[in-house]
Structure 1
Amino acid sequence: MQQNLELAEGKVEWMQEKVEYAEGKVDWKGRKALKHKHGGRKTALLIQATFGFDNLAYFALAVNLGTYFSSVMHFQIAEAANHVTNFMGTSYILSILMAVVADTWISRFKTVVISGCFEFLGYALLTVQAHFPSLKPPYCNIYDKNFHCEQVSGNNSVFLFIALYLLAIGSAGLKVSLPTHGADQFDEKDPKEARQMSTYFNTLLLAVCIGGAVSLTFIVWIQDNKGWDWGFGVSSVAIFLAIVIFASGLPLYRIHVAQGTNPIIEIIQVFVAAFRNRNLPLPEDPSQLYEIERDKEAALETEFLPHRELYRFLDKAAIKTTPNIAQIETPRAPSQWKLCRVTQVENAKIILGMVPIFLCTIIMTLCLAQLQTFSVQQGSTMDTSITNSFKIPPASLPVLPIVFLIIIIPVYDRIVVPILRKFTGVPTGITHLQRIGVGLVLSSISMAVAAIVEVKRKGVARDHNMLDAQPVTQPLPISTFWLSFQYFIFGIADLFTYVGLLEFFYSQAPKGLKSTSTCFLWSSMALGYFLSTIVVKIVNSATKNITESGGWLAGDNINRNHLNLFFLFLSGVSLINFCIYVFVARRYKYRPESSVDTDDNSKE
């Protein structure tokens, strides 16, 4: 009996030793998350499904909102395009605020749920406005030059923009929290889970593409044929389902614990402290810089990074001005605005090093904005017939590269990446920076192709004396599928650049800045959309005296514009931007492993 009891106790002890915890993560009750029970691919699937439903609702809005602004709210074409890019830009720039909220105070899980509710409310309000005639301008044909269309104004305009920007807040929260919450389900230090995380980012794009494909066909068709109220209503249902699916995984998630300190403030502190200590000499031995004592317990909770010989001016933030080290470690230690840890300084160096990469991706979103605005307007003037009885809505054209991506993503992840991995030794096949560069080149090519297609489209209009054609009643005798070439190339660019950026920012970010760092991507897109608004106005202003229409992009008739020259200009700018990116990327230094990890590995 005693022997059996000892064996049983030994078995319990052995089982306890086998239990593995997910470092830094908890379950929904606040207990340490267990690797075998929480996280992994099963929970990532729920997150991918949530992201898919979110994009199912969002894609149709992104590509067709310009049409809604011009045809229902009666804004001019350029004004409608600017309202769209302002909305998109605001949505992305708000991601910074939402990322800080998620990382610092309420956790990524709660941010997703709250943001989903905001987005649902935004779609619901748009549905209400689109349904009731009293909340929108009276119908009129915007192509009838003899009839003045009343533009939305007053309380109805306020209602419209409140709905849109509630939606922007919700979308921003989902964009920064969902991908990082999904990545939190994997352990970067576990080789098996690290490979699964790389697959997760690729399949996250697959979920986006599937949701986008449904959105750009089914929901856009509903908007154009059944009414905008039905279209927005379906989007509202999609967001509601997204929230339900995400919330159902609560017992299974590894939940990142909010840090309670603002990581962005900690980065700012480094720059302030470095400036205040600018006149102090740097010690020759980096070990003389300030760092808290490391012990076994601190190593589990605190990140330690080794010193690097980069951006040495920031090292001045860690110069100890008090000769007595013990005095520094007392409760009355100097303020972090005067003295920062070496690890804190290294985190600031990492963020500073990522900034040039971030800046080089803004131009790509500037190009994307044109495909979501002017290219849709192009499609509205062309023959959208597939058969004698069915016409594809112009806003559905981006579904073509998306369908291709749905096919190519599994091939890329399961076949191409393993082959490349054998040659390069890189777990992701090629490095994140190489992947981003491929996408930047393709975006330049996409704009060049767009310019060529626009030359052909206007040539058809000129040859058939249809420069003043009304697309609603008299489309040009050229298939809208000519636009698929520019969408197709840019779709492949998406696969490389945007997914590469998400992986790059997540993998390089300090531990407390995962959500905040991934919002670099969304901030890049925000600035790209805002830049689009500025560039359109500058181009119109610069060319108003050399064109009959009052500018390359001015007026209500796209057939009279010079969109081909604008696309060619963007192609050249993108090519210059790529050359700058190559220069920057070759000088980027990937972040080091934690010095604690390195020490542990060396002991093993």
Structure 2
Amino acid sequence: MGFFGNAKPEQQLKKGGRRATALIFGLETMTFISNGVSLFTYFHGYMNFSLTKSATALTNYMGTAFLLPLFAGFISDTYLSRFKTCVIFGCLEVMGYALLAIQAHLKQLRPFPCKDIVTSTANKCESATSSQEAMLFMSLYLVALGTGGIKAALPSLGADQLNDRDPKEAASLSSYFNWYMFFLNLGAIFGVTFVVWINTNQGWDWAFSVCSMAMAVAVLLLSMGHSVYRNNLPMGSPLTRSLQVFVAAIRNRNLPLPANADELHEVHDKEAEQNEILQRTNQFRFLDHAAIVTCSEDTTSSTAGGTWKICTVTQVEETKILVRMLPIILSTVFMNTCLAQLQTFSIQQSTTTNRKIGSFEMPASSIPVIPLTFIFVPLARKFTGIPTGITQLQRVGVGLVLSAISMAVSGIIETHRKKVAIKHAKLDSSGPLPISVFWIGIQYAIFGIADIFTLVGLLEFFYAESSSKMKSLGTAISWCSFAFGY
């Protein structure tokens, strides 16, 4: 197999290894999460944005970063392999962080920082020029494009290392996504502690430089291991195939469905040997009209990929899978709206509290250290008999309940914080209140556990439900609720 992973299909089952993508999981998450929790402070304290503009800029950036996996998943499944996508988009992320480091280092590329909360609130600080803002947002969205590609392709690339034709490896899929979350959280912990400490004590230019170097190392190591990966080749656009189904179904809407499902169009010859064949289901029967054979020319001229007049049953079933995913995605949007609040106003909220632990002062952006838990699944497995402890959708449900509890706790703590501020006449003071930051940490702890349940459940569910031709897109869809939430 060459550097870009152009392996023959028959070679791929001889390769693999779950740990092949572990390091880039952690390093990419370390850079993305550390900036996700810190950029609000950077916008407000160093680029002199108002509180509202800072929150808007951050949520727009995060939302775009979580929406771009759809684009990257389309590119990965259609034109590039998952390995190529990780390398190319990883390089874009390196470039974005490098540009941010240059802007943070050179004074002429940014306004003079205004760190006085009272002064910045009164709009007496030097505002960023249009060219300075243009460079900032160009760099940020280059990072967003890079992380979007990695989020779309990397989980699927790692899961591809498990041969689903091998019962032992197929049974390890849930374990793989648990380890994926472990490395993701490990990277997040380093991000909100080590990287945040650097930007607080050494400067933002150092922090962005560390992020750029970390991603460069991750991409380099990923590239060096190309010979051990199972790298599935692109099989065409799943979005185009789904659009073909809708168009063909509308065209054939007046034709009766055959009583025998075997009369619907499917490819069973040598052309389909390397492709996954999906069996017809009874849901969304209107879409089955796309596979109605109207004449002999339809089947001889159409291929496994389908046309705009007739599609295969497998193609129709792939479209049904996408339709079934939509309610699951929409159910998690409100949860990620809560996450957006925790990464913006709750960070600013923590700056008004006492963050000292002895002689050490915890940076405000280090508050959302995500907790790790591996206790629940083994315990639940004993009661349910399910290898994952509970099903993927049950995990998502647990996460949704916990996120609601987190927001309720957040409201109670904010009410208490305001009472303390009023009592000590510090509503407009920039000094810390006599209240520990660990009170705010409670809401982060609860939401962190919710995030573990929901994200693992979504990733595993969408990967398992997706056909072999749409694994990257299926993984990308799981990130869309984050984008809608922001």
| TM category, shorter | over 0.9
What residue number does 1:342 align with?
A: 313
1:516 is aligned to 2:476: no
Match of 1:392 in 2: 362
Q: Deviations over 1:521-560 (max 9, x none)?
A: 111111111xxxxxxxxxxxxxxxxxxxxxxxxxxxxxxx
Letter of the 1:398 counterpart: P
- Structure 2 residue aligned with 1:358: 329
**Aligned mate of 2:257, from 262, 268, 282:** 282
Contact in 1 for aligned 2:459/2:478 (Cα 8 Å): yes
1:36 CA displacement: 8.0
Aligned to 1:129, which of 103, 114, 117?
103
Shift of 1:281: 2.0
Deviations 1:139-163 (A, max 9, x none): 3334226671122122111111111
Quick one: which amino acid aligns to residue 84 of structure 1?
L
1:56 corresponds in structure 2 to 30
Change (3 A) 1:146 1:441: closer
Partner residue of 1:166 out of 142, 145, 148: 142
In the other structure, the counterpart of 1:196 is 172
CA deviation map 1:113-151 (0-9, x unaligned): 111110011101110111111011123334226671122
Q: Does structure 1 residue 442 correspond to structure 2 residue 406? A: no
Q: 1:479 to 1:113 in 2, by over 3 A?
A: same
Asked if 1:304 corresponds to 2:281, the answer is: no
Task: Answer whether contact 2:48 2:113 (CA < 8 A) is retained.
Answer: no
| 3-state SS, counterpart of residue 461 of structure 2 | helix
Deviations 1:225-255 (A, max 9, x none): 2111111111111111111221121111111
2:425 matches 1:465: yes
How far residue 37 of structure 1 moved from its aligned partner, in angstroms, is 5.0
> What per-residue deviation string (whole Å, max 9, x for no partner) do you get for residues 251-276 of structure 1?
111111111x2111001111111111
Partner deviation per Cα, 1:259-313 (whole Å, 9 max, x = no partner): 1x21110011111111111222222222222222x24x45531222221111111
Q: Per the alignment, in what secondary structure is the counterpart of residue 217 of structure 1?
A: helix
Does 2:211 match 1:235? yes
Q: TM-score, normalised by structure 2?
A: 0.95
- RMSD over aligned CA atoms reads 2.1
Is 1:38 matched with 2:15?
A: yes
After the TM superposition, list the runs of 4 or more consecutive aligned residues in structure 1 that deviate by more than 6 angstroms.
332-335
Listed one character per residue, the Cα deviations across residues 294-337 of structure 1 (whole Å, up to 9, x for unaligned) are 24x45531222221111111111112222xx4x33324789721
**Structure 2 SS opposite 1:255:** coil
Structure with the bigger RCO (C-alpha within 8 Å, sep 6+) is 2
State the 1:72 CA deviation: 0.7
Q: Which runs of 5+ in 2 are unaligned?
A: none
Change (3 A) 1:162 1:386: same
Q: 1:342 to 1:102 in 2, by over 3 A?
A: same
Distance 1:488 1:161 in 2: 31
Specify the alignment match of 1:318 in structure 2: 291
Change (3 A) 1:341 1:163: same
Could you list the per-position Cα deviations for residues 365-392 of structure 1 after superposition, in whole angstroms to 9, with x for gaps in the alignment? 11111111011011011111011x2100
1:103 alignment partner, one of 63, 69, 77: 77
Residues 244-259 of structure 1 mapped to structure 2, 5 A cutoff: 244-259=220-235
Q: Which position in structure 1 is the counterpart of 2:198?
A: 222
Equivalent-residue separation in structure 2 for 1:232 and 1:442 (angstroms) = 33
1:330 matched to 2:304? The reply is no
- The 2-side partners of 1:218 and 1:131 are apart by 19
Give the conservation status (yes or no) of the 8 Å contact 1:27–1:33: no
The code of the aligned residue for 1:519 comes to A
Match of 1:542 in 2: none
The amino acid across from 2:273 in the alignment is: L
Distance in 1 between residues matched to 2:466 and 2:60, nearest whole Å: 28
Cα 1:198–1:132 shift into 2, 3 Å: same
Contact 2:265 / 2:299 at 8 angstroms: preserved in 1? Answer: no
1:118 to 92, 95, 104: 92
The residue type paired with residue 57 of structure 1 is: T
2:63 aligned partner: 89
Structure 2: which amino acid aligns with 1:349? K
Matched, 1:272 2:242: no
- Aligned residues of 2:335 and 2:485 also touching (Cα < 8 A): yes
Q: 1:78, 1:112 → 2: CA distance?
A: 34
Name the amino acid aligned to 2:472.
S
Query: Is the Cα contact below 8 Å between 1:27 and 1:38 reproduced in 2?
Result: no
Percent identity over the alignment is: 46
User: How high is the TM-score relative to the length of structure 1?
Assistant: 0.77
* Gaps in structure 1 of 5+ consecutive residues: 1-25, 530-604
* Residue 497 (structure 1) shift: 0.5
In structure 2, the residue matched to 1:372 is 343
Q: Which stretch of structure 1 is more off in the superposition, 228-237 or 435-444?
A: 228-237
